[in-house]
Chains A and B, each alone.
Chain A
C-alpha cells in the first residue's frame, strides 16, 4: 500500500518521531471529532429535547405554576426567577447523560477507549476530548435554551447572555466530577441509576431552583452550598436579572465551579491513565 505522503526512504525511528507530532498536539480534538460523529446519530434527540424541554418547563413553571406563586422574589416575576435555574439544570441534565453511559461504554461495554489507546492518542487526551465534545454539545443546548428564554421575555438584563457560560461552567463542574466517578466503575450494577435518583434529582430540588435556598431551614441549606447547580443558578440569576448578592459570593460561585472542573477533570485523567495503561 502506498502511503502517499513522502516517498523518500526514512528510518522507522524517524518515521515514528514524525508520526507522533500531530497526535501529540491535536489528539484531544481527534477524540472530540469521534464523539461528534457518534452524537450525530442522535442529533434529532438533542435538538428536539433541546427545544422541547425548555418550552415545557418555561411554560409549565414560569407561566403555569407562576399563577399561584405569591412571594417576594426580589421584585421579579416567577418566570424571570425560575428561567436561569432551568437553564442551569438543563446543563446538569446534559452532563448526567454524557458523562455516565458513554463513559461506561468507552471503557467497558464497547471499549472504544481501549481502541483509542492503541493508537497514538494518550489516555489524558481521551478524557480531554470527551470534555471538549460535551462542552460543545452543552453549549448548543444552552444557546437553544437561552433563545427560548428570550422568546418568553424572561431575561431583562443586557448581559443576560452570560447565563450561557454560567450554565456551562455548572454543567462541566458537575460533569467532570461525574466523569471521574464513572471512570472508576468496573461494572455498572445500578450505581449510575443511583446517581440519577439520589444525586441529580435531589440536587435539582435543593439547589434553589424552584424557590430560594433561604426558604429551607439552615440544616438543609448546605446541600445547596455544595451543589454545583446552586452556584451556577445563582450566577445565572446575577447575569439574567441583576439578582442582588454580595460580589464576594459571585466570586465564590465562579471559584467553586472552576475548582470542581479542575478536580473532576484531573481525577478522570488519572483514572484513565491507570485504567488504560494496565
Chain B
C-alpha cells in the first residue's frame, strides 16, 4: 500500500512471482503500476503492507535487493553527459563490480542490444528504440536475478517494439525473472506467463493470459460499426445476439464462440453494418469486461 497524503496510489495489490517467471501488471495509466514497481524496486517506501523481495525486506535491505535487480524505468534516465558505452561502465561501478568485469559485460550487452556500432556515440543521437535498448542493457550490467520493466515499449514504433520483445524473450529463456507493467495487450500476451489486471490501485483479476481470456471473455469477438451516431440505437435491436455485448462510441463488440454466426444473425435481422470484423478475444476484452473501460482512452 502506498499513500500520498489522502490519495492511495496503491491499495490492495498482492501477488507473488516465482523465480524465472515472467509476470505482468496490466492496467491503464494511473492504475498504480509504476508505484508498485518502485516499491518492488526497493526505492519507494510503502506506507503499509508486507513486501519481500528475494526474501528480504526492502526497508532494511534496500541496497542488497537492488544489487540483484535490473530496472528499466518508464522514462529513460540515461546519462546524456556520457557516451553510450560509458553509461554502462559507470552504472556497473554503482554495483561495486570490478572495472574489468564491467567492461567485458558492457561489450557483451552492447552486442545484445544491437548497439555495437554506437559505443562511442552520444546518447542524444540515439533513436527512441535504441535508447530503450541501451536502458535495458544498462539494467542487465549486474546480471540481475529480476528485471523490472516499466512500460518497456511505450512510445516505440512497431518495428522497435518487436526488436525489444525479441530481446526480452531471450532473457526469459535464459531464466531471468521478468516483472513488467504495460498497457498494451499484445505485449502482455507475448511476454507474460501470468499477469494481474490492475485498476485504481487494486487487482481486478489474476491468471495466465489464456485463463483470463477464457474466464472473462468468449473465444471470438465480432466488431461491427454502424456509424458513430447509430451504434447505441442499433445496439438495442441486437439484444439476444451473442453471449454479451459492449457498446463503445465507435463500435459494438459482440462476444460469442462463433463470431461469423452472430454476424449472419445480425444481417438476417435486416441490419447492415458499415464494417464488420471477427477476431479472437484478447486481454483488451478482459479489461473492458472488468472495468467497463478501454485500456487506452
Contact = CB atoms under 8 A, between A and B. Distances in A.
Interface of A: 1, 3-5, 11-13, 15-17, 19-24, 26-27, 30-31, 33-34, 37-38, 41, 105, 110-112, 114-122, 276-278
A12 B68 contact: yes
B130 interface: no
Given A3-B143, A23-B67, A119 B54 contact: no
Contacts of A19: 64, 67-68, 95-96, 142
Interface stretch (B86-94, B154-162, B227-235): B86-94
Given A33-B93, A120-B96, A1 B108 contact: yes
Interface string B11-34: 000000001000000000000000
A111 B43 contact: no
Given A3-B143, A119-B95, A122-B62, A16 B68 contact: yes
A23 B63 contact: yes
B212 to A, nearest CB: 28
A30 B94 contact: yes
Describe B's contact surface by its main secondary structure: loop
A118 B45 contact: no
Contacts of A111: 77
A203 B259 CA distance: 78
A6 to B, nearest CB: 12
B44 A121 contact: no
7 contacts: A12-B145, A16-B67, A23-B94, A26-B96, A34-B94, A111-B77, A119-B71
A120 B55 contact: no
A107 to B, nearest CB: 11
B278 interface: no
Contacts of A12: 19, 54-55, 68, 145
Nearest to B87: A115
B101 interface: yes
Contacts of B73: 114-115, 118
Most buried by A among B55, B68, B94, B145: B94
B206 interface: no
- Cβ-closest 8 pairs across A and B: A22-B96, A19-B67, A20-B64, A119-B94, A13-B55, A118-B71, A120-B63, A20-B63
A115 B82 contact: no
A83 to B, nearest CB: 34
Contact of A115 (B38, B63, B91, B145): B91
Contact of B43 (A5, A24, A117): A117
B77 A38 contact: no
Contacts of A23: 63, 67, 94-96
A120 B90 contact: no
B140 A119 contact: no
A5 B108 CA distance: 16
Given A1-B174, A13-B54, A24-B63, A30 B105 contact: no
A112 B77 contact: yes
A31 B91 CA distance: 10
B133 interface: no
Contacts of B242: none
A176 B90 CA distance: 25
Given A12-B68, A23-B94, A122-B62, A277 B43 contact: yes
A278 B63 contact: no
Given A20-B61, A120-B66, A276-B43, A38 B82 contact: yes
Interface string B38-79: 100101110000000011100001111111110101000111
Most buried by B among A34, A110, A118, A276: A118
Nearest to A13: B55
Contacts of A118: 41, 43, 66, 69, 71, 73
Contact of A110 (B55, B62, B64, B80): B80
Most buried by A among B73, B82, B96: B96
Contact of A16 (B44, B56, B79): B56
B77 A115 contact: yes
B81 interface: yes
Contacts of B65: 16, 20
A119 B71 CA distance: 8
Contact of B90 (A1, A5, A26, A37): A37
A31 B94 CA distance: 7
A31 B174 CA distance: 31
Most buried by B among A20, A110, A111: A20
A1 B108 CA distance: 9
A135 B56 CA distance: 36
A27 B140 contact: no
A118 B148 CA distance: 10
Most buried by A among B19, B65, B105: B65
A22 B19 CA distance: 25
B245 to A, nearest CB: 43
B276 to A, nearest CB: 47
Nearest to A31: B94
Given A1-B105, A110-B80, A112-B79, A37 B86 contact: yes
